[in-house]
Structure 1
């Protein structure tokens, strides 16, 4: 009997070793497909958000992406599997080109990383790239790669240059961030003063907020870490190298299929068999898709720089700005934190460190110089095309001049915006002063775009409800929902939040008997829309978390109402059918709430004694609110003959509308607060969200501006209890 694993002759049976390779090929193709989809998502995201420097949102340098890349380029590092055919050799080349494409794509993502994270990710990528280069070199030497020698050598050189560009670009991130943050603080203070002065003017609230948002947007956009990296000389140079790598792959494919006689391939089939076709096709598509974003960055950069060179500004291209080497210089000047007692060893370590950093500074200078030379050559190559385009635009403007004359000078929105000088709020690095006008032009209408996008998603039902109530009745619903004459269930009374009374009143309103279905649906939809903004306002101002349980109680109650037509397991549909008068509905809710409150309070007595009222269990808070509101409704509408059921429903609807409207008087402050986000990575998104919210709630802000608001200061307006007290004092 033979030994397990040996053949009949006693030798190791390695015939089966290659059997899994086709499935490993599918694994490689799948990893390449994920990389393709991630790069495509970033491309679509950039186009959709009009960010033609294409930030990395889906495909960034991290542990997950590095693992995927390692799988996708496995063919390049496979030293001993024979690859005899045309597709086999092309797949080897496509894997190397894919690596170049990925590196060029991921460069902007360095800007959004912390220093330690940058170091770890760049080191991991460096190990991966060096391994690939060494293995491909060995494969060329052993004959595993026997065609496309020049192409492989060119790609390896490009890959090494890209690694150097990416590594030394990473060292610039800390210094550019700190410099732009310092400038941002100064400009933010200026913008805050101007916005405060602007708020005292006679302009409508929407116009005031739009002007404020434009200033903050310009600051946040131009200091976006990924945008700073994306517009740098090294990043644009990486786009040119990526495009060149893709062109080399295209040349190899065309040569192998159109000029078959010029290349001779070996007979036979690789062990990857049919899977090699999948790998080649997917990786070629990934290279095409992945090259688009870096190529557009490169093309956009040379287009913006071209007018400056026409005026003799090419000399500036060869200047090395200090921020490129600032971090390395600061490292050199800082003391060496090494615990060595021997003075000679400390001196040796210090000198070695300085020598290494001097070499890095020289290498950084060379890389920046090469990047600028690539950009300069590109500009000289394309300047003729740009001149022809400018000439064509000029001719077109002259021919169509008469048709573009405005019919009236009534002062459109764009005309008003054109008077606003935003160049003061553009934050830029040394050597980028020529790009200020370009950055202003490209970002000028971004806020308007997001406002318009928000307008398309405005809460129509909520607006309709508010239009029908708060103009005629104001915000008095805040004072009416909870009568101070109602006896408390406990010696300590919990605070109120905005959302919980709204959802509790809605539960009671839709339980009233004989109410038409469309009225209930209209109210539920309006409350659903309104709660989004109430949550936004409460989350914005509840920084200390005092209202967390109250907000959770509101969410729990509303989830039951919206999805199951229930208030804490009580079927609202049954109540509306089994009760004949509103007072019976109010009484049942009061009794049920009181019963549940007592049960929950007994169960959680020890918690209630230790915790403040706002941190009581959410069921206690929900039942207490229901008890007080249902008892208040009993007191308010005890003369039931004055109202029909439907009239009473509309009265309660107006009360809900008044509470939501009062809460939304804080929207202006929320929008302003979102603009003041000091976290550099979140700043741009925060301002964009503020513009989007302004677009969605513009009509609501108009309504609020036309309605009389009680004399409350900024902090009092955030609290529903302060509103109730203000209306109580007026009575």
Structure 2
């Protein structure tokens, strides 16, 4: 309302009011007084309007974040729904009669997201003036009950310490929600208001206060179930572990009585462990076609030689994948080899290295071998993904060796180039690196040393005959050496499969046996081919190391 209106009223009426005398006409005095009182009311109305307008403006300013808070809550709720839906699909896909918690699990992150989605029940400062507000708050409580039910199976996949921390965290959140709901009920924020749910046949009257009590009871009931489960899970795991170990003993006894082939024995071994791991899951109560021939493991014998001078101050061990990567780098760098042939080799080595690295993780599991495995993975990524050997250069050889650098060169010249450049890199690292770093084996040193020894060994073994070997013949020779090394490595696959079946951690056992089953299925043809080969008479513990194979084969020849 305009303030000028009240000022105008006073300007006209005040002079009349001041000049009115007691002796004047009573009617005139009364009318002037009425006009004066009217002006006072106009002024009061103007002030009230100003206060109301100011309050409305302030309220609008403070309500602006509400929209973003709502979006924040909606995003958190959607994340929870997606995770629960993924678990549901995972259960159907794996034909589970229960829904394992693979994606929606109880941990610090999920508790944080759940707390955000429960902003409405937890917030005591928000007003609930109409039916929609109260219905939204009741819907959040129903959503919380649903999430708690879906989180139950994930309790069994935790160790005892993690289980205690996560259950306590969720219990604090649930108790906070329950206390807040009781406060809102006692202060009549959640009142006896009711709303109708009408259908074609029924007309249902829902009372918000009664509904809130029902949800509170459900939350407390689910919380008690969760706490009770958390208390009994450790002892249940011990019972399952005892039964599992007893079943393993029976399986091993039956295994000894089998007279079938190694592949059939392994099939039965995996099948029985899979059944035991599946039924004993805590959440329930979880290269062949590309290798065509082998030469009796000559590649393992001839990939390295004691006649090659050591150029490192610390002796570096070999892993299965290291000489494979080194030999592959030389093979794909040879001139006059078709791109299709190189692509086939790269594809086959890529598939084979997946099994090779798995063998190394299980059998060569010390820190020293882990450093080598990481180095070969990094170098192979450069070779395969970046294609730097084929298109331009390879990182560890700086800008010297590219495929174009070997055009017109003979096989012996290619090998000499690799050997010399690798030797330069090793010597350079020796000069600039202390012994502690040498022991940790930087990746450039690891591959350069392997490349140097592989190239020098081939040159030494073939002597002057190397001059007569063409690029294609050298490619075949290198490919044969790679196949021999891979086959020797794959003799450890049964041990890897059995180790995966005997996973000691009960939380990881089901998934570990599943990996073993898949690995057996993919390598079954390789294992069949290995059965017809005559393996060296080595101690089983030594067969996991390529250096032990190399030493044994050298001594056998001598």
* Aligned equivalents of 1:9, 1:644: Cα separation in 2: 94
CA contact under 8 A between 1:579 and 1:585: conserved in structure 2?
no
CA contact under 8 A between 1:499 and 1:535: conserved in structure 2?
yes
Going from structure 1 to structure 2, the CA distance change for 1:480 and 1:144 (only over 3 Å counts) comes to same
* Aligned equivalents of 2:313, 2:77: Cα separation in 1: 66
* Aligned equivalents of 2:55, 2:309: Cα separation in 1: 94
Q: Tell me what 1:599 maps to.
A: 428
Shift in Å at residue 135 of structure 1?
A: 3.4
* Aligned equivalents of 2:457, 2:129: Cα separation in 1: 86
Shift in Å at residue 583 of structure 1?
A: 0.6
CA contact under 8 A between 2:312 and 2:430: conserved in structure 1?
no
Shift in Å at residue 491 of structure 1?
A: 7.3
Shift in Å at residue 661 of structure 1?
A: 0.9
Going from structure 1 to structure 2, the CA distance change for 1:725 and 1:77 (only over 3 Å counts) comes to closer
Q: Tell me what 1:166 maps to.
A: 226
* Aligned equivalents of 1:645, 1:151: Cα separation in 2: 82
Q: Tell me what 1:71 maps to.
A: 116
User: Residue deviations 1:198-245, cap 9 Å, x none?
Assistant: 5xx4423332112111222232223322211xxxxxxxxxxxxxxxxx
Going from structure 1 to structure 2, the CA distance change for 1:77 and 1:621 (only over 3 Å counts) comes to closer
Shift in Å at residue 122 of structure 1?
A: 3.1
* Aligned equivalents of 1:158, 1:8: Cα separation in 2: 44
Q: Which one of 419, 424, 440 corresponds to residue 590 of structure 1? A: 419
Going from structure 1 to structure 2, the CA distance change for 1:35 and 1:557 (only over 3 Å counts) comes to closer
For structure 2, the residue ranges without an aligned partner over 5 or more in a row are 1-49, 195-205
Going from structure 1 to structure 2, the CA distance change for 1:89 and 1:655 (only over 3 Å counts) comes to same
Q: Which one of 171, 184, 203 corresponds to residue 126 of structure 1? A: 171
Instruction: Give 1:209-248 correspondences, 5 Å limit.
Output: 209-228=266-285
CA contact under 8 A between 1:213 and 1:691: conserved in structure 2?
yes
CA contact under 8 A between 2:334 and 2:403: conserved in structure 1?
no
Going from structure 1 to structure 2, the CA distance change for 1:114 and 1:713 (only over 3 Å counts) comes to closer
Going from structure 1 to structure 2, the CA distance change for 1:487 and 1:123 (only over 3 Å counts) comes to closer
Going from structure 1 to structure 2, the CA distance change for 1:572 and 1:665 (only over 3 Å counts) comes to farther
Going from structure 1 to structure 2, the CA distance change for 1:125 and 1:627 (only over 3 Å counts) comes to closer
Shift in Å at residue 686 of structure 1?
A: 0.9
Q: Tell me what 1:513 maps to.
A: 335
* Aligned equivalents of 1:528, 1:597: Cα separation in 2: 26
* Aligned equivalents of 2:52, 2:134: Cα separation in 1: 35
* Aligned equivalents of 1:163, 1:617: Cα separation in 2: 52
Instruction: Give 1:158-307 correspondences, 5 Å limit.
Output: 158-195=218-255, 197=256, 201-228=258-285
User: Residue deviations 1:322-375, cap 9 Å, x none?
Assistant: xxxxxxxxxxxxxxxxxxxxxxxxxxxxxxxxxxxxxxxxxxxxxxxxxxxxxx
* Aligned equivalents of 2:310, 2:159: Cα separation in 1: 53
Going from structure 1 to structure 2, the CA distance change for 1:507 and 1:161 (only over 3 Å counts) comes to same
1:466 aligns to 2:511 (yes or no): no
CA contact under 8 A between 1:80 and 1:144: conserved in structure 2?
no
Q: Tell me what 1:260 maps to.
A: none
Q: How many residues of Structure 1 are paired with residues of Structure 2 in the alignment?
A: 484
Shift in Å at residue 125 of structure 1?
A: 2.8
Q: Which one of 299, 303, 312 corresponds to residue 477 of structure 1? A: 299
Give SS of 1:724's match.
Answer: helix
Q: Which one of 10, 19, 26 corresponds to residue 71 of structure 2? A: 26
Q: Which one of 493, 498, 505 corresponds to residue 672 of structure 1? A: 498
Larger radius of gyration: 2
1:153 aligns to 2:247 (yes or no): no
Pick which of 111-120 and 8-17 moved more: 8-17
Going from structure 1 to structure 2, the CA distance change for 1:73 and 1:479 (only over 3 Å counts) comes to same
Going from structure 1 to structure 2, the CA distance change for 1:65 and 1:521 (only over 3 Å counts) comes to same
User: Residue deviations 1:58-109, cap 9 Å, x none?
Assistant: 2222232222222222223444544455543432221111111111111112
Q: Tell me what 2:530 maps to.
A: 704
CA contact under 8 A between 1:474 and 1:707: conserved in structure 2?
yes
TM-score by length of 2: 0.79
Going from structure 1 to structure 2, the CA distance change for 1:204 and 1:128 (only over 3 Å counts) comes to same
User: Residue deviations 1:173-194, cap 9 Å, x none?
Assistant: 1221222223333333333343
Give SS of 2:512's match.
Answer: helix
* Aligned equivalents of 2:434, 2:173: Cα separation in 1: 61
Shift in Å at residue 691 of structure 1?
A: 0.6
Shift in Å at residue 136 of structure 1?
A: 3.3
Q: Which one of 89, 109, 113 corresponds to residue 44 of structure 1? A: 89
* Aligned equivalents of 1:707, 1:572: Cα separation in 2: 38
TM-score by length of 1: 0.62
CA contact under 8 A between 2:411 and 2:469: conserved in structure 1?
no
Give SS of 2:106's match.
Answer: coil
Going from structure 1 to structure 2, the CA distance change for 1:488 and 1:167 (only over 3 Å counts) comes to closer
* Aligned equivalents of 1:82, 1:617: Cα separation in 2: 63
* Aligned equivalents of 1:688, 1:590: Cα separation in 2: 44
Q: Tell me what 2:383 maps to.
A: 561
CA contact under 8 A between 1:79 and 1:144: conserved in structure 2?
no
Give SS of 1:538's match.
Answer: helix
Shift in Å at residue 644 of structure 1?
A: 3.0
CA contact under 8 A between 1:476 and 1:655: conserved in structure 2?
yes
Pick which of 565-574 and 538-547 moved more: 565-574
Shift in Å at residue 15 of structure 1?
A: 5.0
Going from structure 1 to structure 2, the CA distance change for 1:538 and 1:115 (only over 3 Å counts) comes to closer
* Aligned equivalents of 2:471, 2:411: Cα separation in 1: 7
Q: Tell me what 1:550 maps to.
A: 372
CA contact under 8 A between 1:82 and 1:144: conserved in structure 2?
no
Shift in Å at residue 116 of structure 1?
A: 4.1
Going from structure 1 to structure 2, the CA distance change for 1:45 and 1:570 (only over 3 Å counts) comes to farther
Q: Tell me what 2:346 maps to.
A: 524
* Aligned equivalents of 2:477, 2:377: Cα separation in 1: 24
Going from structure 1 to structure 2, the CA distance change for 1:18 and 1:549 (only over 3 Å counts) comes to closer
Q: Tell me what 1:94 maps to.
A: 139
Q: Which one of 486, 489, 509 corresponds to residue 660 of structure 1? A: 486
Q: Which one of 448, 465, 485 corresponds to residue 623 of structure 1? A: 448
Give SS of 2:367's match.
Answer: coil
Shift in Å at residue 49 of structure 1?
A: 2.7
